Homo-oligomer: A and B are copies of this chain.
Amino acid sequence: MTVSPFDHPLLSALLGDDEASRHFSVEAEIEAMLAFERALAEAEAENGIITRDAAAAIAAALATFQPDTALLRAAVAKDGVMVPELVRQIRAAVGEPHGEKVHFGATSQDVIDTGLVLRLKSVVEHLGLLLTETIIRLISLEERFGGRALTGMTRMQPAIPIHIADRIAAWRAPLERHQERLSGQSGRLLVVQFGGAAGTLEKLGDKGPAVRAVLAAKLGLGDAPQWQSQRDALADFAGWLSLVTGSLGKFGQDIGLMAQGGSEIELSGGGGSSAMPHKQNPVKAEALVALARFNATQLSAMHQSLVHEQERSGAAWTLEWLLLPQMVVATAASLRLAAELAAQVESLGH
């Protein structure tokens, strides 16, 4: 099915990003969940919560575990999450006597949230690389054309002469601040989620924090108290995604306006029309504007989901699932398109 253009076999060529999407496949999600369950068993064994034999049996079973996805699908319809059924399947794979130690002390949200963060870690790296690439392309444009003249436009009116470097600086500088912002916030984002049924790790006695720290270390994540109902790091990251697409939307809008006619810009490639073969539509520039407005909209709902009632909310949590993966892919696509668009520029200014 292809309801979202990010998943659409054709439209994703323009609006999607394969590498970012890959992290939101079922396979990637389950792989991350299995990594959580293995690391949890090992961390619990190191802390004497379960035996080392149990942990070894769990790790062995997970190494070859293949989920029955039809049953997982049915479970989602019934339970709202796949985890109870997934755990049941893993326990069956581990068998007696260690099966019951799988997922010990954890809850569905621990697996799903940590599984998300594990993939966001890769996402953050990917977006960081794309962001650097886009900045480099803009610097290259500045080097090639920065000294040329351009009529500065204010309030959509010709104002005074400026240089191409002035306009490019307004495209580039926000992106450099976004790099700073990402490194500032990723420490709060890339942390383990482990709280158990209601956030208190009640089954681990006084070993909860110790297990959590080992779990985090094994997964390559930061350690932090559980945040089952505290979604600020995700909302903040969504804000970062939308800052990036917003800044690139400004770049796209400017390119679209420069390409309206006249000789301010020359672009290679570019979009054909079924009615007017002479046209060359600034397709990537338009897509940057669309993706900016899309993310600006989704961000609103990520903040709505901060109103996350009590210890864990099904409604607010489910809402995030409808938003964050698409925001990530929109941002990756936007960065990719911006870099490609910059590379299409044959000439800027006079």
Contacts and interface: CB of A to CB of B under 8 A. Distances in A.
Contacts of A156: 256-257, 259-260, 281-282, 286, 309-310, 313-314
A15 interface: yes
B293 A319 contact: yes
A134 interface: no
A154 B286 contact: no
Contacts of A321: 5, 11, 15
- Main secondary structure, interface of A, reads helix
Given A2-B26, A310-B254, A318 B247 contact: no
B299 A162 contact: no
Interface in A279-303: 279-283, 286-287, 289-301, 303
Given A10-B72, A166-B199, A159 B279 contact: yes
Contacts of A228: 170
A196 interface: yes
Interface string A8-21: 11111111101001
Interface of A: 1-16, 18, 21-22, 24-26, 69, 72-84, 87, 103, 106-108, 111, 152-160, 162-163, 166-167, 169-170, 173-174, 177-178, 180-181, 184-185, 188, 196-200, 202, 225, 227-230, 232-233, 235-236, 239, 242-243, 246-247, 249-250, 252-254, 256-257, 259-261, 269-276, 279-283, 286-287, 289-301, 303-316, 318-319, 321-323, 325-326, 329-330
